[in-house]
Amino acid sequence: MNLTTKQWNLFVLAALLAGAAWVGISARLPGTLAAPSLPAPQAGFLAPDFTLQTASGEVITLSQLRGKAVLLNVWASWCGPCRAEMPAMQRIYEEYAEQGLVILAVNATDQDSATAALAFASELGLTFPIVFDTDGGVGRQYAVRALPSSYFIRPDGVIEEVIIGGPMAEALLRIRVENLLGGQP
């Protein structure tokens, strides 16, 4: 069967229109998730609130930390970059905790285990709060696509900066924390 030029042009036009319709239907805006369509947390916006527990059962709600600078770090014990940056985070925590810094380490327990996370924390001598995201809710809420993911949150609850991946160098941590604390050394 031979197609005439007119038939071929109509076929090509229909295919192009179908392709354009598919692109239009399936396109997502930058910074959004496919389902549900929630914007990913980003600098300049209020940090999404959550409540998680520590191993001892202490309940920590992010919004109750308002008035303090918060470094929210999502991590797992099997994550090499997480292991590499945690000692620097501990040193920064020890240096700046009295000035209002809170490091909140959210273990991606849906991809890890609480036992492994606690062994990791003990091995590295971590003293900042570690909470467990057992169902992955915080990971979804924060659109975590890579570990570690860090969110520098100002005392007013607004995200100052998001850093995906790691490890973060101690100098970078220090600069970001000092900015959150208003330049206090």
Q: Which tens digits make up the pLDDT trace of 8-55?
A: 677 767 766 765 565 555 444 444 444 444 566 888 899 999 999 999
CATH of the domain at 95: 3.40.30.10
Could you tell me if residue 33 is inside a domain? no
Q: How far is CA 94 from CA 65, 100, 103, 114, 153, in A?
A: 18, 11, 10, 24, 18
Could you tell me if residue 67 is inside a domain? yes
Could you tell me if residue 9 is inside a domain? no
The mean per-residue pLDDT over the stretch 138-156 comes to 94
| Domain range enclosing 89 | 51-180
**Residues 149, 47 contacting (CB under 8 angstroms):** no
Mode of pairing for the β-strands spanning 101-107 and 130-132: parallel
Task: Give the whole-angstrom CA distance, residue 169 versus residue 161.
Answer: 15
How large is the angle between the packed helices 80-96 and 114-124, nearest 10 degrees?
A: 60
State which H helix or E strand residue 70 sits in. Answer: strand 69-75
Q: What is the CA radius of gyration of the chain?
A: 22
Could you tell me if residue 11 is inside a domain? no
Instruction: Tell me: cis bond preceding 36? Omega within 30 of 0 counts.
Output: yes
Could you tell me if residue 170 is inside a domain? yes
Per-position DSSP letters for 114-156, written without gaps between them: HHHHHHHHHHHT--S-EEE-TTSHHHHHTT--SSSEEEEE-TT
What do you get for the CA distance between the two ends of the chain, in Å? Answer: 80
Provide the phi-psi class of 41: left if phi over 0, else alpha when psi is between -120 and 50, else beta: beta
Q: Is the pTM of this model over 0.75?
A: yes
Q: Which tens digits make up the pLDDT trace of 82-141?
A: 999 999 999 999 999 999 999 999 999 999 999 999 999 999 999 999 999 999 999 999
Domain count of the chain?
Answer: 1
Could you tell me if residue 64 is inside a domain? yes
